Every structure is written in structure tokens, then in C-alpha cells.
Structure 1
Amino acid sequence: MYTLLQLRGMALRTAARPLSCRRHFRTTVPARKYVPRTPAPGDRVYVAMSSGVDSSTVAALIRDQYPENEVSGIYMENWNDTSNGDGLTCTEREWIDVQNVCRAVDLPCERVNFEREYWNEVFMPMIEMYKRGLTPNPDVGCNKFIKFGELYRYLENKEQKTAVSTGNGKMRNWWLATGHYANVGLDNASNTVHLLRPSHLPKDQSYYLSAISSTVLPRLLFPLGGYTKPQVRDLALNKYHLPTAEKPDSQGICFIGQGQNTFRRFLDEYLEANPGDVVTETGEVVGRHNGLWHATVGQRSGVAMPQGDPTKKGTWYVARKVPAQNQIVIVRGADNPAFYTDRVQCAEFDWLGHVDSAALVRDCAGIVVQYRSLQTPERVRRVHVNGAGGLEVEFETLRRAVAPGQYLVMYNEAGRVLGSGVITNTDRTEPVNCK
């Protein structure tokens, strides 16, 4: 198990609309000029490998494009899982695949263990957020704390030790390459490195990278930023003949399995049942729940309402959660006004690199945000920054089922990630008249 990156494919998430390139980039503000960055002769390149076709292809591309550089693969073990019936754990099967790929492209590979760090910095915070009724995104946390946190520091320390052992004490330049569909570019105007969207927007993974530290960006390589997924498959199969070329994309977590109910059963192993009321907007108790994590905003409530009562006839959906009262509030109809919001707040919003937030407050033309990966970016009509590091954003239009706990990621007209933060509250600028 490499990370919990595949949680985004599970049914707990409300389906997002495909990202619209045309809508996002139709602005009057000219795009900034970015300079590509490539390793120089003598630089060391590490390839983070997960056993999937994307990271496998990156290993082949790096080996092919930089034959004179010292390149090696590195695999992170983040979860002590159990066998799926074939005598091998998910981690062991992935490690075998990684070794096979590295042999195929003639690379040494290393296995490192970050189980404790993953548990403390990603998994348990995710569990606590579910317990509080939030909708967390562990993918973002894994990239921030583990892949571009613990792994980055591990490699930095490794290079420092190498510099000491050589006797000159000077650390050589090194890079970390991953299979993410994103880009990093050197901005001519500011001479700083920015995180950018990839060329192929349907595979855009910049959302999941939005919380990493700007200090790591200068050492990152995203070789797939200019490729489509079919092109990557073709390279893996027909050019590099990789053993993982036809391996299916992961759609869930191998030690949990796929499906909404499967994941909720998994959460039940870590969360003690906390029964509470399911209520209507008027406060009428119509059912019970075993824990706030058993409901997702925007999904069917599962409560059987009396269809003979005209006021209750129809399908009812989860509108929101009220942790203070341990209640789940449901409303009638999938398009009930209670689902829609045009204003969100983040108690803490982290800017990625230098961003003139005061200028955004004065003029947010061309600025868009996303609260799910691969959704159509939402244009904003107002941005407000408070002195405590928080952010408030108003959308141009009402949006359905925006939930606290989701990450809000901001982009400019050039596709640069400006920053991100966890949504702590949602509301709307006009009163809601529920059906």
C-alpha cells in the first residue's frame, strides 16, 4: 500500500463534474511565462514508485532521458496490512512489482518505511475528522506530510550524509520525480517555482498537491505533466515494455476494498459507535444513526419516510451534520435549496509560495477554486482574507453539497495553484427557503 491516494475514487465522495478546460482558461489576463526545469549532468534523481503504470513509466522516462545521471527508485511502505488470500500482503505485491519494473529499466530501488508517520500524521487525523462529522481528504494530507514531507526529508538527509562521506561536504543537486499529472515551472517574473496544472486536464492531480510546502517545489519533477493517460499506457506497453503496463488503475484501497459500505465498515473498526438523531429541518426526529461518519452530505438518507404523508412523500437526502447535537439533518428532494451554497470559509488557508492576497481581495478576476478534484472550476466574485490566516470566498453561482472538511484549492488564470485550506463552514448570501 503506497498511500491512501485512491480514496478519491470511493463512493463516499459526491460525484464531481469533469473539469472544463475551455471554461477555466477563457480569461482576458495573459498567462505567465514559465521556464521548464531539467536535471543537469551529475544531478541525482529519485523516482517515487507505487507499482502503478504512472510511476513505472516515470522511472523509464527518467532513465531514458538522463542516461548519464544517477537515478534510483524508492518505494514507501505506509501501511502494515494483511494478506488478501494469496499469502502476500498488498505492500509485498506492490514491492515485487516495483522491483520488476526497476530491473526492466535497469535501476536500483530502495524500500523505506513510514508506517508510524503515516498513522500519526495522516490516518488518525482523518479518523478524527470523520468522528467530528467532517469530510476529509487524506490524499492531500499524504502528499503534504508523507510523500513530500517525510520522504523528502529522508532523501535530503541521505544526500547530506553522502556529501559528508565524500569528504568535501558539498551536497550535490538532487530531484524527486513522481507519477503525478501536474507541472512545476520557473516563473520568469518572480524567479520562483510554481505548482501548475498539467496539459491533460482530465487527469489533473494538482488539487491533491495543493498543500505541499513551496520549499520542496524547486526539487520536484512531474514528467507526466505533458502526457495523457493513453499516451502513458502506450509508452509503458510499446516503448518500454514494462511489466506493469497493463495493470489496472487503483480505484480503492487494496486492504479495505471498494464501495461505500466497505469503507464505512472499515471506519467502524476505529470509531466507537456514537448514536444520534436523524432530524428534518423543523427538528422532527425521524430516525437514528450510529455515527456522523455514516452519512455524506448530498447522498440519500436511507430513512424510510411515510409515503402516505404528503409532507414526507419522496426521497430524502442528507443536507448537513450538526456535531454539537450529534444530529444528521435531512431534507426532501435532491435539488432542495438547503444543499446549495455560494460562500465558504476556511479558518486557515495556506498560500503556496508568495501570493499577493491583498491584490486578490481588490480584484479576483480570473481566480477560480475547486472543492473536489476534477470538478469544473468555480469562478469567484469575492475573496476576503482575515488577519488570523483565514479565507472567505463567494462563488459566482450556487453550488450543491459543498461539505466542511473538503479542501478548497485556489488557482489563477495561468493554472497556478495559489493555495489551499480545509473548509470549515458553508452558507449562502441569501436566505434558504427549504421545501
Structure 2
Amino acid sequence: MKMIRNVAVGISGGVDSAVTALLLKNKGFNVTGVFMKNWDIRDETGNCTVEKDYEDARWICDKLKIPLIQLDFVKEYWNEVFSDLLEKYQTGYTPNPDILCNKNIKFNKFFDVARNRFQADAIATGHYANTSFGPYLENFKENTNVHLLQAYDSNKDQTFFLNQIPQQTLRRCMFPLGNYLKNHVKTIAKEASLHKIAQKKESMGICFVGKREFQDFISEYIDDKPGEYVDLDSGLSIGKHNGIHKLTIGQRCRIGGCENAYYVFSKDQKTNTIIAVDSGIHPALYTDFLITQDVHWISEEPHELRHSGVLSCDFRFQHRNPLITCNVYKISDNRLFIRLSVPLRAITKGQYAVLYSGEECLGGSIISYPGPSFFALNQQNSIIETRCCDLIALTSGVQM
């Protein structure tokens, strides 16, 4: 086996990637910093955060005395991440651009360039995650499947966002921060005279939106299309919205003149109607099963699912949600039926169902059908009960 020496590190300009590069250099690897330019459009203030991040990345690499190369993936990001986001929002789905960026850009395009153009033996990123090959690929074996494992810092674990990572890339990917707490990472940065970066405010939310409200940002790319808000319980119109693409399931609606706060239950693309409920814990927002498509297993399809058709494991569909137990049933080669142990709120089409077994992230798939909701089931049961009473009355001659 060829010794792994040359490592291309994704440098974002933040503390996590800076400490990643530092740890690798201290381990004796030949480190090359790579800044990925994925977005080049200025916000409403005329600023482009990419420029400031590149300046910080350059400062980091100068301090660490390692080379920095900038790769332009703006076209690829637009075609393979942002265009998909626009399409999904217009059709009522709620996509996750961070997962798509990892799948198509960081662990695909970046990996290919690093291996083929820079002759890197491996790539590294500042994600909080682990693999069965170890943080520095000390257990690396060619042509052997590697497993994606949760980070030591459970509050920062980012395996959720890596659920679509290709096996070929993961085999040659290092996550040096996998065994560190975030506070420790900041301490390491300060001790290495990287105070400027250690004190930098951590980016939150979707990177290209910046400080804008998402509804204002998305209106720059998708035309407003006014429609009705309709109350689920009464069937009455309760207000107007500017487009179903601006809201997602479970989100609070901005409806003037209403005594109660309303929340999105569903979006009808054909009628351009948003069905809303008057409580954040309305039973219409909860369901305990879902159907998914386009399944991606990071290592391989679990043995239990392959042989018995059912897998007991853990589930989450949002990054910070606690894991809950579930049963997974195989419908076809790329579709799953998932029954949850407890009902969850606002499961939405387009989000990812990510599955875990112990500390291992098994993979994920796109949610294509959530439901039916507890409200729908209760309505159905009421109809059945009424029809049963009518049938009993008819057959017994008793007036109900």
C-alpha cells in the first residue's frame, strides 16, 4: 500500500478547517490548502462573503506556512446545487443545499481535482465526524469499505450532512476533528496564534443567503405567486400569501388580523393554496411513518434489510433532532417505508431521512411522502365509527 503523505485540505476561512490543517501539518503530512469558491453573487449590501472568507483562508495558510489554491466551482454549484434548490422550492419540496453541496461539490468535484490534478493521497475537511479508518487514515485498507461514524462532540456531529457521501471518497477522507470538542478546537487555534480565526463568528444557516431573510432572498430567483391561506379545520380562507416557495411545513405563517398563530400544514401546487392550522402542536403536523426514495447506503445495504426486508435502527430528519428508533422496510431497490417509534412534527418532502446504527451513519434517502397525519387518521376513524353506527341502526331498526 502506498503511504498516505499528500493531503488536500478544504480551507473555508473558519476555525475548524484552520485547525484541521494545523493538526495534519503537525502529524507530518504534506498539506495543501484548497479554497472552494462556490458562490460569487453579492448580497443586498454589495458584499460577497466569499471574498472575505478567501482573505481569511489566505491569512491562515500564510500563518501555517502551507500553500493555498483556489478552485472555482461556481458553475458546478449553480447547476448541481442551487438549480435543484430552486426547482424543489417551486414544487413544494424543502431541499437541503448543505447535503447536496457535500455530495456534488466537496466530496465529488473537490475530491476528483485533488486526486487527479494535485496527486493528493487523501482529502481532509473540518467536519465533525469519524470513520472506521481513523482520523488520519491510520487503518486505511485499499478496496475495503469504510464506515462513517459520529463525532465525539455530539453537539457538533455533522454526519447528518454527510449521509450522501460516496464510498470511494470516504475511503480517502480525513476528519481530524472527529475526536475533539469544539471548545478544544478553539483553544488549539489560540495556542497556535490563530486568535483572529478562533474569535470569528461561526457561519449559520444557508451560506449564500447571508444576513437576508430567506423569503426576501428566494424572491430574487422565483417570482411571487399570490394565493390563499385556508384553515384546515373550517375550510375558510384566512388570508393571502405571496408564494408557496416561501414557506415550509410547520413554519409559522404571517397572516394579519388572525387571533391565533397559524402554521403551514400542506401546500397545494395546483391551486397555489397553503393549508394552515391554528396551533404549533396541531395533530395535523405529526406523523409516525414516511416513504423515501433514492436510497444511498454509505458502506453497503444492511444485512438485515437485505435478507429479512426489515431493519431496526435510529432515525433523524433534521440535524439537531435527537435520534429515535424506527423500523425500516424495503419497498423496492431505491424506496423505503419507515415506521417511527414516536410521532414527529413537520416531516417534509425533500428533506433527508438519515439512518444510524449505534455510532454509525448508515446513509440516507429523500423523503417523498410523509403521513398520513394524526389528524387525518382521527378523521378517518370518526368516519368509520359513524358509518358503523349507521350500519348498526339500519340492521337493528334502532334510531341512532
SS in 2 for 1:251: coil
User: Structure 1 regions of 5+ residues with no counterpart?
Assistant: 1-38, 163-172, 308-313
Q: Do the aligned residues in 1 keep the contact of 2:227 with 2:241 (CA within 8 Å)? A: yes
C-alpha distance in 1 between matches for 2:4 and 2:170: 20
SS in 2 for 1:348: strand
Amino acid paired to 1:426: P
The 5-angstrom pairing of residues 215-364 of structure 1 reads 215-241=168-194, 243-252=196-205, 256-258=209-211, 262-281=213-232, 282-304=234-256, 307=259, 314-356=260-302, 358-359=304-305, 362=309, 364=311
Match of 2:346 among 380, 401, 405: 401
Distance 2:235 2:168 in 1: 49
Distance 1:175 1:288, change over 3 A: same
Residue 317 (structure 2) pairs with residue 371 (structure 1): yes
Is the CA contact 2:128–2:178 (under 8 Å) kept in the aligned structure 1? yes
Q: Is the 8 A contact 1:340 1:399 kept in 2?
A: yes
8 Å contact kept, 2:39–2:208: no
- Assess if the C-alpha contact under 8 Å between 1:45 and 1:71 holds in 2: yes
| CA distance in structure 1 between the partners assigned to 2:43 and 2:247 by the alignment | 30
8 Å Cα contact 1:81/1:90 also seen in 2: no
Asked if the contact 1:403–1:426 (Cα under 8 Å) also holds between the matched residues in 2, the reply is yes
Give CA deviations for 1:255-276 in whole Å, capped at 9, x if unaligned. 63336xx211110010012222
SS class of match (1:324): coil
Residue matched to 1:62? 24
Matched, 1:178 2:125: yes
Q: Residue 388 of structure 1: CA displacement?
A: 4.4
Mapped contact 1:297–1:319 kept (Cα < 8 A): yes
- Name the CA distance, whole Å, in 2 between partners of 1:272 and 1:184: 43
Determine whether 1:43 maps to 2:5.
yes
Number of paired residues? 371
Question: Which of 62, 66, 80 is matched with 1:103 structurally?
Answer: 62
Residue 73, structure 1, aligned to residue 33, structure 2? yes
- Quote how far apart the aligned CAs of 1:157 are: 1.9
Matched letter for residue 417 of structure 1: C
Under a length normalisation based on structure 2, what TM-score does the superposition of the two structures give? 0.86
What SS class does the counterpart of residue 111 from structure 2 fall into? helix
Task: Map 1:135-214; keep pairs closer than 5 Å.
Answer: 135-159=94-118, 174-186=121-133, 191-214=144-167
* In structure 1, C-alpha distance between the alignment counterparts of 2:39 and 2:97, rounded to whole Å: 14
Larger radius of gyration: 2
User: Cα offset for 1:363?
Assistant: 5.1
Rounded to whole Å, the distance in 2 between the matches of 1:398 and 1:352 is 26
For 1:49, the aligned partner's letter is I
Greater relative contact order (Cα < 8 A, sep 6+): 1
CA distance in 2, matches of 1:155, 1:123: 23
Residue 99 of structure 1 and its aligned partner are, at CA, apart by 1.1
Identify the range of structure 1 (115-124 vs 330-339) with the bigger mean alpha-carbon deviation: 330-339
8 Å Cα contact 1:256/1:263 also seen in 2? yes
Cα deviation 1:86-134 (Å, max 9, x = unaligned): x863222111111111111110110010000000000010011111111
Which of 328, 331, 347 does residue 386 from structure 1 map onto? 331
CA distance in structure 2 between the aligned counterparts of 1:285 and 1:404, rounded to whole angstroms? 24
Structure 1 segments (4+ residues) deviating >6 Å = 187-190
The CA distance in 2 between the partners of 1:348 and 1:88, in whole Å, is: 37
Cα distance in 2, alignment partners of residues 391 and 186 from structure 1: 29
1:90 aligns with 2:49: yes
Q: Is the 8 A contact 2:125 2:175 kept in 1?
A: yes
State TM-score, norm by structure 1.
0.79
Distance 1:379 1:83 in 2: 42
What fraction of aligned residue pairs are identical, expressed as a percent?
32
CA distance in 2, matches of 1:88, 1:315: 35
Structure 2 counterpart of 1:424: 368
CA distance in 2, matches of 1:389, 1:254: 30
Q: Give how far 1:409 is off.
A: 0.5
What root-mean-square deviation, in Å, do the aligned CA atoms of Structure 1 and Structure 2 show? 2.6
Note if contact 2:298-2:362 (Cα within 8 Å) is conserved in structure 1: yes
Q: Deviations over 1:375-395 (max 9, x none)?
A: 101211x21112241111010
The verdict on how the C-alpha distance between 1:126 and 1:356 changes in structure 2, with shifts beyond 3 A counting, is: same
The structure-2 alpha-carbon separation of the partners of 1:275 and 1:241, relative to structure 1 and needing over 3 Å to count, comes to: closer
CA distance in 1, matches of 2:329, 2:373: 14
